[in-house]
Amino acid sequence: MSEQPHVTAVLSLFRPPADLPARVADLLEQVDAVVTVDDGPDADASAEVHAALAAAGAEVIVVGANRGIAHALNLGIERARTTRSDTWVLTLDQDSTVPPGYVAAALATFGAAQGAGVRVGAVCPWFLGDAPTPEEGAEHGFSLAFDPITSALLIAPEVVAACGPFRDDYFIDAVDSEYTLRMRRHGWVVVRVPDTRLEHAMGTPRPMRLLGRQLTRGGRPAHVPYQRPFRIFYITRNMIAMSREYGAQFPGWLARRWRAEILHGGVRLLWGPHRSRIARALLAGAWAGVRGRSGPIPPRLARALAV
């Protein structure tokens, strides 16, 4: 990387919060352009936020219907690459806050890893909040990410060109995991950027209780990694789809991913809220995955799982 790369941040929006324009203004101090894509069903309700985003310097694309996070990211990336085919892409969620200096550190880590002989395709933060990004060994002294989320993932232009768009038939959940496996299929890995921390909301933690008593772990209150039932449907269905697509090539990676999902699923079923709906979502997602179904959740099932 002999000259400073051009970087475009692509944000997927769904009922964007009022503080987003201020965070985008800060983000524009680190990147060359920001493209936001709102695929919420009620665009008029977010009109003021859209106007503030445009005033802050972002391009705003309004879909007008909920077609999933992958579709939103693909629209933004297509727009970014139409403007600059050589742009690097920084994918972000609306509930993420990029720390100062992150993009410069990410580009520096990418260049150093590449110079050391690592076939790096993307880089991600070292921490998500207080939790370290899951690691999968190291190569030439650089820490490799196991299953990075899309938020704050900085992807090289040649990777975007070779791997293509995110799987919009996944709609939501496992979109990031599938892209990681696709990069690996092409021979690229994701490297963690040292000393970086992304503030990002990962679901809604709920207190873990037994017979009405708060359980603890290491002297601290324990929490359930809660996701709403409709998200459990997508997670389960798309995990099966990924296993069918990549199981023969990456069995160890998928086994580790399944272990985590089974652990989280068991905790949700034993101690989480809405257990009957969670169980129904698991069964429905498994059935859809076995049958090879994709796209958005069926409306009738979505209504039944609503909480």
Which of 166-175, 220-229, 275-284 bottoms out in mean pLDDT, i.e. has the lowest?
220-229
Question: What confidence score (pLDDT) does residue 271 get?
Answer: 75
In this structure, the strands spanning 142-145 and 135-139 are antiparallel
Full set of structural domains in the chain with CATH: 7-200 (3.90.550.10), 204-305 (no CATH)
Render pLDDT for 236-277 as a digit per residue (tens, 0 to 9): 999 999 999 999 999 999 999 999 999 888 888 877 788 899
Question: What confidence score (pLDDT) does residue 227 get?
Answer: 82
Q: What is the DSSP string of 149-210?
A: -STTEEE-HHHHHHH-S--TTT-SSSHHHHHHHHHHHTT-EEEEEEEEEEEE--SEEEE-EE
Question: What confidence score (pLDDT) does residue 270 get?
Answer: 79
Give the largest Cα separation in the chain, rounded: 62
Question: What confidence score (pLDDT) does residue 295 get?
Answer: 95
Query: What CA–CA distance (Å, rounded) separates 39 from 41?
Result: 6
Render pLDDT for 165-197 as a digit per residue (tens, 0 to 9): 999 999 999 999 999 999 999 999 999 999 999
Mean pLDDT over each residue of the chain, to the nearest integer: 92
Residue 235 pLDDT greater than 60, yes or no = yes
Query: What CA–CA distance (Å, rounded) separates 196 from 129?
Result: 10
Residue 208 pLDDT greater than 60, yes or no = no
Residue 121 pLDDT greater than 90, yes or no = yes
Residue 20's alpha-carbon distances to 45, 56, 72, 96, 149, in angstroms, are: 15, 10, 17, 9, 20
Q: Which two tokens stand for residue 18?
A: 């009022």
Nearest to 80 by CA among 59, 96, 94, 54: 59
Where does residue 173 rank: exposed (0-12), middle (13-18), buried (19+ CB within 10 A)? buried
